[in-house]
Chains A and B, each alone.
Chain A
Amino acid sequence: MNFFTEPLTLLTFFPLLGVLLLLFIPGGQKNALRWTALAVSLITFVISLWVFFLSGLYDASNPDLQLVARHPWIQVAGWNIEYHLAADGLSILLILLTTLLTPISILSTWTAVEERVKEFMVFFLLLETGMLGVFVAQDLFLFYIFWEFTLVPMYFLIGIWGGPRRIYAALKFFLYTMAGSILMLLAILWLGIQGGTFSVPQLIEQGGIPANIQWWLFIAFAAAFAIKVPMWPLHSWLPDAHVEAPTAGSVILAGVLLKLGTYGFVRFNIPLFPEATLKAAPWIALLATIGIIYGAAVSYAQTDIKKLVAYSSVSHLGFVMLGLFALNPEGLAGAILQMINHGISTGALFLLVGMIYEQTHTREFKVYGGLWKLMPVFGTLYLIVSLSSMGLPGLNGFVGEFTILLGAWGAGQSGVFYWGGVWFAAISALGVIMAAIYILYMFQKMFMGPQGEVVDEVKKHGHSLRDLNWREIAVIAPLILLIFWIGLYPAPFFDLMAPSVNKLAETFSAAALALR
């Protein structure tokens, strides 16, 4: 194996090396375990930077799949399953997001996870390999394996280190996702056997799937992805999973795992089934729009901070879906950027919520209030992250949401949304107002107003609320930096994805014209 010609293999499986290393460290030496896991995840991050930027192996101006690693793998009974990894502009940012969020999450568990540290870290690194695998796999079968593989560590992360109803939440998460995946597996097998290959780029090139069959395959894939996203009304597992998951689990769940769904749409559904995609576009847009409005409205009525953020994810990912199915460069690029933004902003929100939860052990709004005075740094960082989440211009959320809505409006005018037209974009823009309502409500209830009873409650236990320490600031600082960077100067991010996005969108502008 030459890591210089196949660096994605190194990147994807490097965390497994960390797992091996962790196995040799006794469970009692918690700090050694933490440092090892952190070091491994940081090295993974450095490797990802090296692979895409420093090594010169990746050409960002090339729209095609690059860094290809392709070997025959399982070739029996006419099945042609390959070990096939590659990356392009659609996945590179998500890969980087994964490698960035993992060390951050690990650092955030420093004091939060005291039980079974070894197992926790092992699961975490396994999860990283799984997620990276999903983003780089270009063989449907290999993709499916990674896809299911991510479930297992997450199941245990929720089920072992979660809150009081963790078993229920973990099981629901697992069953829900499995249920969707089974349909996808059938579709994958159909595609692989009919097409003679499981390779995604090859299948896309072959094309020629009859429209009515495309439709069914599209639905089968969409079932798996829509549950993962989650699209309304399949979101019921998300609040449970988020509320019960430990902080780091929530961060990864919101930051990366949900993106597996949206990524699946853009990587498989849209290019593999172009005709079905065009047919489905307004329907998906409808669900996305309902999700945006519904998620925002329901968020406002929550009394639990984590639940509020969980429902806000439903709303935010509605934007992503709306942008993806606008099928023009603005919508697609905005959606991909919004995936990153959501990972950063919501990840940071969960981190911050975890930090306050560690001190107060409650997530109920009604006991909070006036925290800004006691915790000015925390309050300010929380404000920045909240504003980013509600899409304040100059911060990252705006760039994504704006381009998405712009793209959706264009799709409404150009006829991609062949019914509904611009109404999807117009109604979704209402979500901008509603986001302001629930985000500001959350900020007000926590940080403004008279001092909440939680302050005295904490004092009763002999502590007093402290502001963030340096470790916590270090955890959150990279995300804050990215929030400003993407908001003010998103050009490097757009440049990375633009060639691939344009290529994908081009196929649709032509196809759309041919159909109408």
Chain B
Amino acid sequence: MVPVNYYIILSAILFTLGALGVLVRRNPLIMFMSIELMLNAANLAMVAFSSVNHSFSGQIFVFFVIAVAAAEVAVGLALIVQIFKSKHTINVDDVNSLKG
């Protein structure tokens, strides 16, 4: 029997790692993965709460988050492909002007 706090701390650590990934990496694909990691961290916390509170709401929320993540990845990757097509690089530091 593990206290729920431990799960929360784990979730926070994972979240911070994800955020760090977004901040320090220049490869948009990895930034994207980091975002996924952040979502996962949040999911973990929610499932833990769901378990403590004996409610399905948390799980269902996670389910929605997974669906949204899937949608987000589909669009985001398509964007990256487009950016690569027009700029021939995906380094986010080179994508710093609004003009296409």
Direct contact of A and B (CB under 8 A): no
